[in-house]
Amino acid sequence: MRRCQRYRPIHPNVPMGLSPPAATLKQSDGQSRHGLLGSLAQGEVVSSPWKPRLWLTVLLGIVLQPFVFLYVNRPRLFWGYLLVSLVTAGIDWYYELALTLLFSLICPLHAVMIARRYDPQTPRRWFNRASVAVGLYLAVMVSILGARTFLYEPYQVPSASMRPTLMEGNLFVAQKRGFAHRSLFGFTLPGSDQLDTARLQRGQIYVFYPPGHDALYVKRLMALPGDVIALTPDGVVINGERLPRELLSDSEGIRIYRERNGGQSYRIQQLDAAAPQPIQTFKVPQGHYFFLGDNRDNSNDSRYWGSVLAERVVGEMVWLVNKTDPAASTP
């Protein structure tokens, strides 16, 4: 006797052995894959929800300061904070403050507030990555370091040896392009032995390392290689010719003169209370330069440690930022 087989209805679009829900699921999955491939083929960006990490936001804000706003997708705040931080850095340099340290507190706090309210559905842009913020920060720092090493660098006058031209605490910028001595973190860089000697002119002010000293000095160049310079009570004599000078003032024990050397006109001062000095004569060796301070009776200069090797000249003063005496900016 033959058993009767149970009747199973067959769905017209369902293969044998699969139930309709399974087939529908497989079909929907296939359609999704085709849709994704089609979107990628057409160049559309498929983004997933993303939100800045709070701990990383705090870290970037403390270290990178304005650059953290790139990570939290606020480029306008980045440019605004960057501009304000640069202005603040200039104020700090001029007034010897430390206001820029406040950005290590303000930037992370502001960025964390943004990160907490961040909408995960906001499209993530190319700069919303910590690696991009760090890379741009390093690029800016390297550019600044390169400019200070090879182009221009700010300095501060440490003493009264250049009065009345430079006062203690005055800030100035020296141009380093064309000069030989280049160092970075104590290491001498390639090309430090190449010097454009035409940049060294009598009467100009330069920054240099004196013989046997590791500290930078700022003095006025008085004599070139091969010159014979004599220091007398009546002024400076170079190669037998006395430098022209005229008395500008004589008060409170200080005499101010205007002296001319190499086409440059500048002021010097002498002290009435200074002990008389004998005539001193020096022959400047080849490849060396003779420097004096404008405060002739109170300056540690080439009279005491000798002429300076050309390769030890760092740069020429090109811009004086006067903080003390308005008259001091007139050399």
- Secondary structure, 3-state, 12-55: CCCCCCCCHHHHHHHHHHHHHHHHHHHHHHCCCCCCCCCCCCHH
List the single range of 33-37, 55-59, 290-294, 323-327 with lowest mean pLDDT.
33-37
Nearest alpha carbon to residue 256 among 139, 164, 137, 162: 164
pLDDT digits (tens, 9 = 90+) for 48-106: 789 999 999 999 999 999 999 999 999 999 999 999 999 999 899 888 889 999 999 99
In this prediction, residue 19 has a pLDDT band, given cuts at 50, 70 and 90, of very low
161 classed as catalytic: yes
List the single range of 5-9, 188-192, 323-327 with lowest mean pLDDT.
5-9
Q: Where are the domains of the chain?
A: 54-150, 152-329
- Three-state secondary-structure class, residue 175: strand
Give 163 or 96, the one with higher predicted confidence. 163
pLDDT digits (tens, 9 = 90+) for 173-204: 999 888 866 666 555 666 556 677 888 999 99
219 classed as catalytic: yes
- Active-site position among 161, 299, 302, 307: 161
Q: What is the predicted pLDDT for the residue at 38?
A: 42
Average pLDDT, integer, range 109-117: 96
Q: What is the predicted pLDDT for the residue at 5?
A: 47
Q: 146 pLDDT exceeds 60?
A: yes
What is d(CA 266, CA 272) in angstroms, rounded to the nearest whole number?
A: 20
Mean pLDDT of the chain: 83
Average pLDDT, integer, range 318-326: 72
Q: What is the predicted pLDDT for the residue at 191?
A: 58
Q: 150 pLDDT exceeds 60?
A: yes
- Three-state secondary-structure class, residue 71: helix
CATH of domain 152-329: 2.10.109.10
Q: What is the predicted pLDDT for the residue at 189?
A: 61
List the single range of 95-109, 134-148, 199-213, 311-325 with lowest mean pLDDT.
311-325
- Active-site position among 32, 51, 159, 219: 219
- pTM of structure: 0.74
Q: What is the predicted pLDDT for the residue at 37?
A: 37
Average pLDDT, integer, range 142-156: 90
